[in-house]
Chain A
C-alpha cells in the first residue's frame, strides 16, 4: 500500500513539475501544475511520517503561495509568453530541466547508497508535539533567526510600499 502510494505521489510530483516548465500556452496552467506538484510532495511527507511538515506544505505552499502566484498572474492578465526572447525559452527550459534532473539524480544515487527501506520511527515522531519540542529546544536559535529574517522582510515590504504611496 505504502509503496503503491509512493509511486502515485512521486510520479505525479515529477510529471507536474515537468508540466510547470513544459507548458508554453498559459502561465495559469503552469501555476496549477505547481499546485499538483506541491500536493504530491505533501503526500510524500506524510508517507515519511512527517505529517506536520506535510500539512504545512499544503497550507503554506499549495494553499497560500501558489494562490498568490495565481493572483499576480490574473491581476496582470498574462496570457501566453509574449515576452522578449520567447523563442529562446524552450531551449533554456530544456537545459535548466536537464541540469536540475541530472544533479538530483546524482544526489539521490549518492544518498541512496546506504538507505533503509522505510523509516522505522516511534509513535511520537512527526506529531505537532514532537515538532514543537524540537523547534523550541534544539533549534530555538534557527527559529529566532528565521523570525528576524521575516521581520526584516515585512519592514522592507512596508518601506517599499510606503515610498509608492507617498
Chain B
C-alpha cells in the first residue's frame, strides 16, 4: 500500500475510535436506563443544554483527569504505572488489521481501507489480544492488595481458558474461506449460493429451472457457520470481562478485583479499554461473519460498474467507498447494541460456571465443529465435482 493511503486509513480508524469510545459510555447509560425503565443520564448540562445526556462523557473525562492519582504503599510502582497502558494498547492495535472497506481506484491511486492488510490478520488479533491479559493480571498484583490479587488470579484463569475456545471456534470458518486475511474474507462473503441448487444437481428438478436461480443466500460466515458465530461471540465477551463474565471484578465479592487500587484516569483507561474492546469485538465479528463492508446480494464491483456511466469512474469509486464504510459501521453498531443487550440482561455467572462454560461446553463444541465442517467441505467437494 502506498504511503498517503496509509495515512487516510489511520486517520479514519483514529476518528472512528475517538468517536466511539466516549459515545459508548453514553450508549451504555442510555441503554441500561431504557432496559431498567429509568430516565437515564440527563443531569450534566452546559447552561441548561443537556443534549440527551451527551454531556456526560465530557463530565466523566474532566472528573477522571482532575482526580487524585493514588499509588498504594507497597505497590510495585513501575508495574502499577504501566499496567493500564498494557490493557488498553492491544485493543487499539487490533484495529490495524480490520478492513473498513475494500480497495478503490481513484485518480490513479489505490486506496485500501485497511491499515495493515496482513496475511495472518485474525491470528494477529489473537496474538495481540493475548498480551492484554498482562494488563489486568499485573494490575491486581502490583497494587499490593488482596482483593486485587484474587482478581488477578481470576483474570488469568478466565482469559487462558477462553483463549483456547476462541481460537478453535473459528477454525471451521478458516477452513471454508481458506484464508486468515480479513480483506479476502470480506470479498468472499460477497458471493452467493443457490439455496436449492442441490435439487437441480441431483436431477430432482429440471435443469435451468428459473426459481432456483432466484433464491440465493449470501455466503456470510453467519450463514455458513451459525453456531461458531455465537461461540466466538461468547468467548470474545469472556475475554473482555464484561458482565455476565465479570467475575474478575465481581464487586459483591472482591470489591473491584484487579483494578481496585486505581483512581483517576488510570482507572478510566481500564474502562476505556473495555469499551474499545466492545467495538473491536463487533468489528471483528462483522468482518468475519457478517460480510464485512459489503452488502448482501449486491457485489461492490457491480455497484461501481453501474455508477460509472452516471458519475464517472473516480466518483463511482468514491461513492462505493463511502457506502462501504457506512455499511460496515452500521453492522458494527448493531453488534454493539446486541452486546449491550446481553450485558444488561444477564446476571454475573458464578466462577465455576464461567470455567464450565469455557472448558466443558465451548471447547468440545468447537472441536466437534472442526470435524463436522471438515466433513461438510469434503462432501460438498465430492458432490460438486
Contact = CB atoms under 8 A, between A and B. Distances in A.
B119 interface: yes
A67 B159 contact: yes
B180 interface: yes
B36 to A, nearest CB: 36
B118 to A, nearest CB: 8
A67 B127 contact: no
Nearest to A124: B119
Contacts, number: 67
Contacts of B157: 71
B156 A70 contact: yes
A95 B180 CA distance: 45
B26 interface: no
A68 B133 CA distance: 11
A128 B134 CA distance: 27
A59 B141 contact: no
A66 to B, nearest CB: 9
Interface string A42-66: 0000000001100110110011100
A74 interface: yes
Contacts of A58: 127-128, 130-131
A79 to B, nearest CB: 11
A32 B133 CA distance: 13
B261 to A, nearest CB: 15
B215 to A, nearest CB: 34
A35 interface: yes
A127 interface: yes
A127 B153 contact: no
B91 interface: no
Interface in A7-43: 28, 32, 35, 39
A55 B127 contact: yes
A52 B127 contact: no
Given A52-B120, A127-B120, A128-B180, A63 B130 contact: yes
Contact of A67 (B118, B119, B129, B137): B137
B162 to A, nearest CB: 11
Interface in B105-155: 118-120, 123-124, 126-131, 133-134, 137-138, 141, 149, 152-153
A64 B127 CA distance: 10
Nearest to A58: B127
Interface string A103-129: 000000000000000000000000111
A51 B131 contact: no
A144 B191 CA distance: 36
Given A62-B130, A63-B163, A67-B156, A55 B124 contact: yes
A128 B120 contact: yes
Given A74-B153, A75-B153, A67 B124 contact: no
A124 to B, nearest CB: 9
Nearest to A68: B160
B130 A55 contact: no
Interface string B175-195: 000001000000000000000
A63 B119 contact: no
B152 A67 contact: no
Interface in A83-105: none
Interface of A: 28, 32, 35, 39, 51-52, 55-56, 58-59, 62-64, 67-68, 70-71, 74-75, 77, 127-129
Interface of B: 76, 79, 118-120, 123-124, 126-131, 133-134, 137-138, 141, 149, 152-153, 156-157, 159-160, 163, 180
7 contacts: A32-B138, A51-B120, A58-B130, A59-B130, A63-B127, A74-B152, A77-B149
Q: 7 closest pairs, A vs B, by CB? A: A63-B130, A58-B127, A71-B156, A59-B127, A127-B119, A55-B127, A55-B123
